[in-house]
Chains A and B, each alone.
Chain A
Amino acid sequence: MAFNILIADDSETMRAVIKKTVVMSGVPIGEILEAATGREVLDVLKETWVDVILTDINMPEMSGMDLLRELKQDEVYENIPVVMITTESSLARMEQARNLGAAAYIKKPFLPETIKQILMEVLEKAYAHKVENKVFEDGNGVEGDEGMDF
């Protein structure tokens, strides 16, 4: 299984750095998409299915928080895990992101290892969720834990 990953940040260099980190992480990648604003994320989602979104908070037009709010209100997108990667490091801001449904929160400055670790954890959790849904829909158990094929 390969994952489509969407990176949203108004800084082109930051997107390039995150993209490089993701590529080097060993996560199986289908496509890496980019957006400079929350609004652009919504435009990308209309065209392409995305498995996880890594987004900044402080972006023009539509902030990462507004984006998160919008995604969680949309039944098509509500289950896409959203990881906030941001300079806004106050506990209150993290709590707000968690309450809105963010899957994880990474503070800038970050170490590449942190992005790798959190991305893997988030994808593992999302993948497990899909397996559970399958069990529920089929009415049959899935033998063993297939886990992630990283």
Chain B
Amino acid sequence: MDDHVKKVVIESMKELFEKMFFICLEPVVGLGADAVESASDYYYAGMGYTLDGKESVVHFYLSKALAWQMTGNFMGIDTSSLDEGQVLDTLRETANMGVGGLLGQINPEGTAVLGRPESGKAYDFFPEKLFENFSVIAFRTSSGILCMTIES
């Protein structure tokens, strides 16, 4: 991931989280796997797209507390009134908006084809592996960590 794309990702994610979820994202450089507590409690969201014949997938890993807080803020209700279906739906919409916003910047001609967003519990989330193998963009929030990667 080149620096321009990384900058666009950071700015579009900050805008998304502030506008829709009222959550401030603080980009963190050089975050290590040890920053992720309780990896078994993480959620996953992802969405693929095809641009110029090349397929890519944007992966999001985020703490359970952050996922529930986002959803509560998004819907304007207390987290105790939420169910997991609403959380997973919000995460799919987050992936949709995150990828759509990114492509709006890096592909203004609109030739990219979007896939369907997915979400679920992050059963395959291994922070050590993620931080070693991918160019991770990480954010700290008041409710936990959000990690993003773009796999091409």
Residues of A within 8 A of B (CB): 11-14, 16-17, 20, 58, 60, 86-93, 96, 107-111
Contacts and interface: CB of A to CB of B under 8 A. Distances in A.
Interface residues of B, number: 28
B75 A90 contact: no
Closest A-B pairs by Cβ, 4 of them: A87-B100, A89-B104, A92-B110, A90-B110
Contact of B19 (A16, A58, A110): A110
A58 B108 contact: no
21 contacts: A11-B92, A14-B89, A17-B74, A20-B75, A20-B76, A58-B114, A87-B99, A88-B114, A89-B103, A89-B104, A90-B107, A90-B109, A90-B110, A90-B112, A92-B110, A96-B110, A108-B100, A108-B101, A109-B16, A109-B19, A111-B19
Contacts of B74: 13, 17
Contact of A89 (B76, B86, B100): B100
A91 B103 CA distance: 11
B116 interface: yes
Interface string B90-109: 10110011011101100111
Contact of B104 (A20, A88, A111): A88
